[in-house]
Structure 1
Amino acid sequence: MHSYSRQSINQADIESVIAALQSEFVTQGPRVLEFENAVKVMVGAEFAIAANSATSSLHLACLALGLRKGLRLWTSPNTFVASANCGLYCGAEVDFVDIDPVSYNLCPEKLAEKLALAAQENTLPHILVAVHMCGQSCDMEAIHRLSKQYGFKVIEDASHAIGGRYQGDYIGSCRYSDITVFSFHPVKIITTAEGGMAITNDPALAKALESLRSHGVTRDPAELVDAGQGAWYYEQQGLGYNYRMTDLQAALGVSQLTRLDAFVKRRNALARRYNRLLENLPLATPTLLESCESAWHLYVIQLAEPDCRRHVFDTLRAKGIGVHVHYIPVHTQPYYRELGFDWGQFPIAENYYHAALSLPLFFDMTEDEQDQVVAALAEALNAN
């Protein structure tokens, strides 16, 4: 248990990658399309565009939605830095909205307050990135209502959340958003080693995402400015990037996706078991909202005495137990402090961070391993 999470690779996964290696295509080929189709069908959306990472997918999503210098992106401070960096990549200004202390997600009430003030000051965001922390959806219906009222676009950063549900629908249906982004990093629910995907129901956004993913180049005769040049001809019609996923990654993704429900079911069972085993310790276990079925990428506890976290963390790590802390608030990072942010601006996220400790949670985790985590945690708390 030297990591808080890990991939689960079986023989079928290995054989799928070997088959891709033995095929004609090893880079962007038919397996990428197969993976995209499988994900969009599963979540009930119209379009899926795979990329080489979720960070790339977030960047593509911002570009497709027209984010640029002079515009603003807002997100949660309780996230990995990529959720905010994607705005900076586009030259936009970035700001944050404090979190709800129950779900750890961006708080719709704080968002409404900040939007009302921004409307008066003419500083409304162009894009809101709603991060589904730990695998549990934000209150997307409330966020959607505010997006219509104030005229901003919504990206769901569902890097933690493939396989989770909101109001009965799979996260990724884009019922309340313009684009949803998934991550397939090895510590996530399913993996392609590295990889991401942007999901949308808007054909114009899908077309933009696909073009931007591959240099802004098209070979489609119907789109060419100077048609009739010959079969070799292509045109760069915008400034894009090389964010393509390989067929090797996609082959692994297709195989992994067949076990997604099993992965999520097991993670939920382990999370419920943690809840029972930890109920008498001086800590708070995560809260799952009624509207949500979490994918349980992370299991984060809140210690009753935050000052003991360093002792608990070091003690468990010394025993080979891969506890972690998710996340250091983005606005407190040195780079963001140079942009004018500082401690004290988003107190709920900061209080959450000071007490947060992520316990190991992964598909192949045994109950014996989980018992070891709980026993070591109890011992460290009692010894403090």
Structure 2
Amino acid sequence: MNKTLAIHGGKPVRETYLPYGKQWIDGNDINAVIATLRGDYLTTGPTIKEFEDKIADYVDAKYAVAVSNGTAALHAACFAAGIKEGDEVITTPITFAASANCALYQRAIPIFADIDPKTYNIDVCDVEKKITEKTKAIIPVDFTGQVVDLNPILKLAEKYHLTVIEDAAHALGTEYRGRKVGSISHMTTFSLHPVKHITTGEGGVITTNDEIFYRKLLLFRTHGITRNENLLENKEEGTWYYEQLALGYNYRITDIQCALGISQLERIDEFIKRRQEIVRKYNEAFAAIDGVIIPHQADFSNSSWHLYILQFELDKFKVDRKELYDALQAENIGVNVHYIPVYYHPYYQKLGYKKGLCPNAERLYERIITLPLFPNMKNKDVEDVINAVKKVLDYFRSVL
């Protein structure tokens, strides 16, 4: 291997760019979408309910509601939980902004609890410290695919009469103490974005075992409008009649998307198995490298692995994270960073949030890089990532 870094004019490890995530679409997926395009329904048809039933069955939940994207799923769950202006919702800062934005959509106040420095998931002890009389819900995030320790979270919820909305955008297929994520919390939301475990292009799902939440979710995704005669205030009109009972949104998903989702779901076990194989290869390659911390996995979590994140003890390399990131990008490795703490964003700063709220989260952010991980990666792709990381680290260590 050429030891001169590509960023310094050397030959990159790869000739072509490898993204950090990517969908895997095969002929069956394409045929499923084509069949729907040739059918009677493009949207609000029977394929949506079929997809919802299959998702609910997969995670062993009573109900599933599919919506237009993962953010819509979180927003709908906040509505169903009755979150309103002035309420507080506790979540983690190490997440995509939607995990907190969904509270703002309901005019509630996001409260950030710090993370466990080992698992990178929300710290249950800090959650309890942040609970006040205004707290309405907890939104724990299954970061990278590793499930939060749900039992203590649910005990807190019971103690303080809170709703747990589990953001499992990263965790479709993950198991918590032998149970699939999606059947445990009061509501669980999933993302179906192309880099996730299965995709509908864009899309999201909420699962729950609570019929009241289920009915509210259905209402919310269609403008708050219903034709259900059991819910109508004026029951004397004809079958054409409908009523708006709440201020909902147009968060509908289409039959086209759900046809793709059904086809993708048939291969989810294959997708997860391959993700886990790649993670094992990464762990074997990086575990013994001084200054590199591989992801810790709690014994209660069997992760489906959405993201693979390395943490660097930067004092052992005498470079900052940006230099490592730029060097890996130059080797044509599509590394990323997940995530910028939510309250670092200018919008949140203008709302009054200040740096220093969650020291563990802030320290982690400065030291992490996400490596490519998706099921259609070839073994050569995995080797390229490993070789590029070792090449870059060897160089920066050797120049000390």
Relative to the length of structure 1, the TM-score reads 0.96
1:14 alignment counterpart: 30
Unpaired runs of at least 5, structure 1: none
Q: What is aligned with 1:268?
A: 276
Q: Give how far 1:309 is off.
A: 1.7
Please say which of residues 129-138 and 339-348 is displaced more in the overlay.
Answer: 339-348
State the 1:131 CA deviation.
0.3
2:309 to 300, 310, 314: 300
Give the share of equivalent positions with the same residue, in percent.
42
Alignment of 1:1-384 (within 5 A): 1-115=17-131, 118=132, 122-123=133-134, 125-173=135-183, 175=184, 177-281=185-289, 282-305=291-314, 307-384=319-396
Deviations 1:90-149 (A, max 9, x none): 00111100000111100112222333xx3xxx44x1011010000010010010111111
SS in 2 for 1:101: coil
Task: Indicate conservation of the 8 Å contact 2:137/2:164, yes or no.
Answer: yes
Q: What's the RMSD between the two structures over aligned residues?
A: 1.1
Q: Distance in 2 between matches of 1:67 and 1:113?
A: 20
Structure 1: how far apart are the matches of 2:137 and 2:373?
Answer: 32
Deviation at 1:222, TM superposition (A): 2.3
Mapped to 2, the partners of 1:287 and 1:82 lie a distance apart of 25
Q: Distance in 1 between the 2:152 and 2:72 partners?
A: 27
Separation (CA, whole Å) in 2 of partners of 1:241 and 1:2? 37
Contact 1:311 / 1:380 at 8 angstroms: preserved in 2? no
Contact 1:71–1:93 (Cα < 8 Å) also in 2:
yes
Query: Alpha-carbon deviations, 1:349-369, whole Å to 9, x = none?
Result: 011110010000000112211
Q: Structure 1 residue 319: deviation in Å?
A: 2.2
Shift >4 Å, 4+ stretches: none
Conserved? CA contact 2:295–2:308, under 8 Å: yes
Distance across 1 between alignment mates of 2:294 and 2:385: 14
2:12 corresponds in structure 1 to none
SS in structure 1 at match of 2:366? helix
TM-score, normalised relative to structure 2: 0.92
Q: Say which is worse superposed, 53-62 or 1-10, in terms of deviation.
A: 1-10
In structure 1, how many angstroms separate the alpha carbons of the residues matched to 2:109 and 2:128? 19
CA contact (8 A) 2:199 2:260 kept: yes
SS in 2 for 1:126: strand
Q: Give the Å deviation of 1:203.
A: 0.4
Aligned residues: 376
SS at match of 2:310: strand
Task: After superposition, give the CA deviation of every residue in 1:261-310 in whole Å (9 maximum; x if it has no partner).
Answer: 11111111110110001123231000111100111000001011174321
Letter aligned with residue 132 of structure 1: D
Deviation at 1:316, TM superposition (A): 1.5
In the aligned structure 2, how far is the partner of 1:108 from the partner of 1:280?
30
- Within 2, Cα distance between the matches of 1:383 and 1:343? 33
